[in-house]
Amino acid sequence: MADNLRELEDWVSELKDCNKLIIVEGKKDRIALEKLGIKNIRTLKNPLYKEVEEIAASCKEVVILTDLDKEGKQLYGRIKKDLARNGVKVDNRFREFLFKKTKLRQIEGICTYLQSNLIILEL
């Protein structure tokens, strides 16, 4: 557990420092990532084809952080496929880490997840 938490903190640091666009589903996801100091976040609010066109026109590589529930996985698949078709590379390492090594399933809960696990580590 402690190793996974440290690794999650490392990932958050990497996302803070990277220049890649980070795509999230909603405003609460964006706010949670901003609280962690992560910038360059795009919230999906337009029809998907329009989002993909705009992203492809300005980015070569992105990180997609849709939720890890059924709907989020489907949305991730559609966005990833459409972006790839438009020449945009998707860095999915952080998403895979969250899915495999944490119990986190919604991006908006990442701050709470980190805080509650830090309290456990301190005890």
**What is the tens place of the pLDDT at every residue in 41-96?**
999 999 999 999 999 999 999 999 999 899 999 999 999 999 999 999 999 999 99
Read off the pLDDT of each residue in 95-119 and give the average, rounded to a whole number.
Answer: 85
The pLDDT score that the predictor gives to residue 3 is 75
Nearest to 92 by CA among 70, 111, 108, 72: 72
Pairing of strands 61-65, 89-90: parallel
pTM of the model as a whole: 0.89
How many domains, the chain? 1
The pLDDT score that the predictor gives to residue 101 is 85
- Separation of alpha carbons 16 and 54, rounded Å: 22
**What is the tens place of the pLDDT at every residue in 7-37?**
888 888 999 999 899 999 999 999 999 999 9
What element of type H or E holds 6? helix 2-17
The pLDDT score that the predictor gives to residue 121 is 43
The pLDDT score that the predictor gives to residue 117 is 74
Is residue 108 predicted with pLDDT exceeding 70? yes
What CATH number does residue 24 fall under?
Answer: 3.40.1360.10
Instruction: Show the domain range for 57.
Output: 2-122
